[in-house]
Amino acid sequence: MKKINIAIVGLGFGAEFIPIYLRHPHTNMYAICQRNVEKLNQIGDAFGIEKRYSDYDELLKDPEIDAVHINSPIPNHAEQSLKALYAGKHVACTVPMATSVEDCMAIVKATQETGKKYMMMETVVYAREFLFVKELYEKGELGKVQFLKASHQQDMEGWPDYWPGLPPMHYATHCVGPVAGLLRLDAEYVSCFGSGTISEDLAKIHNSPFAVESAHIKFKDSDLSAYVYRSLFDTARQYRESFEVYGSKKSFEWPLIEGEQAVIHTAKKEEHEIPEKVTVPDFAHYLPAEIQGFTTKGVYDEDDNTHLSFTQGAGHGGSHPHLVNEFVMALVEDRDPFPNAAQSANWTSVGILAHESALDGGKIKFLPDFKNI
């Protein structure tokens, strides 16, 4: 079988994925794209990648490219995804899918019109904690799921470009993805409240005053709802992406502090025996042997030529190789990836409409049916 030619667009966070594609048995790490030519060549030289583009439109003209993995700034995601799909390329794109419901819908339509695959590369639904809970659920150990909850709190002060003043729910997929993704549910409507205020200089950038936004999500054709909350500025909290699920037999709670153990609560035990701290296992065994090592360490061997922008490590709960493998295998097997375009649009639009709800005093906002457009 011919290997899939991958092009990575955006080489800050995006460079984390280069070694994974280099080693995946079904891919050829074919091309990279970066506007800064000096950085483009530095990374190309470090990894031995000959095909280099500083112009995205020129990259899309290359007939050898099968798929693009987009890691550009948030405002570029929708435009670049649409261009790639209509250029005949499959698309993997970092979160969020877009910044408007209309653009989310346009990407879904583009996949229908072109027959190309789209996957939003949501890290949390491939993090080891999520995979652990998913395994518990599939084995029936949780019993009936009764409620889901997630948060993403982060201090973005000092981050450049498009981040300052960003409405919290405009970057909500890290908490919406897991509550929707565990049972493969679609959000039907959302209600959200804003709380507190950020500094005036930040608030005026996007006309978004809230320090925290908290939302309830009602799922379609289900008795379940979920609660998610986000903060980005002027709120004291260690970085935390959390996911919790409450079942009739067992419940899972994310640790409050980084480095602590998660907790499993088991029903019908003596009160003091109900909670139990657990060490969440790694799930590298789900992956091809060539990329299993990327779940527990950075993407570089000790003697590799590293660059400061690459030193984040595998991060994100070891999700990076799982994301790559899901996207690649969806292409190899000619199936939809998870999340596909409609699911990605649903998750992204929850956050967009949640922010609208917060500005509208918590008014319920209904989502489009992205599966039937």
Could you tell me which residue, 313 or 40, shows the higher pLDDT? Answer: 40
What does pLDDT average to over the chain?
A: 94
Q: Please name each of the domains of the chain with its CATH number.
A: 4-123+291-338 (3.40.50.720), 125-287+348-366 (3.30.360.10)
Longest dimension (CA), the chain: 65
Predicted pLDDT of residue 182 = 98
Average pLDDT over residues 182-189: 98
Please name the residues in contact with 109: beta carbons below 8 A apart, sequence gap of 6 or more: 373
Predicted pLDDT of residue 160: 75
Cross-sheet strand order for the sheet of 365-366 = 275-278, 262-266, 250-253, 240-247, 145-153, 225-231, 212-219, 187-195, 365-366
Q: Is 221 a residue whose pLDDT tops 80?
A: yes
Would you say residue 311 has pLDDT above 60? Answer: no
pLDDT digits (tens, 9 = 90+) for 316-349: 889 999 999 999 999 999 999 999 999 999 999 9
pTM: 0.94
Kindly report, residue by residue over 263-286, the tens digit of the pLDDT. Answer: 999 999 999 999 999 999 999 999
Say what the pLDDT of residue 312 is.
36
Residues 122-156: tens digit of each pLDDT:
999 999 999 999 999 999 999 999 999 999 999 99
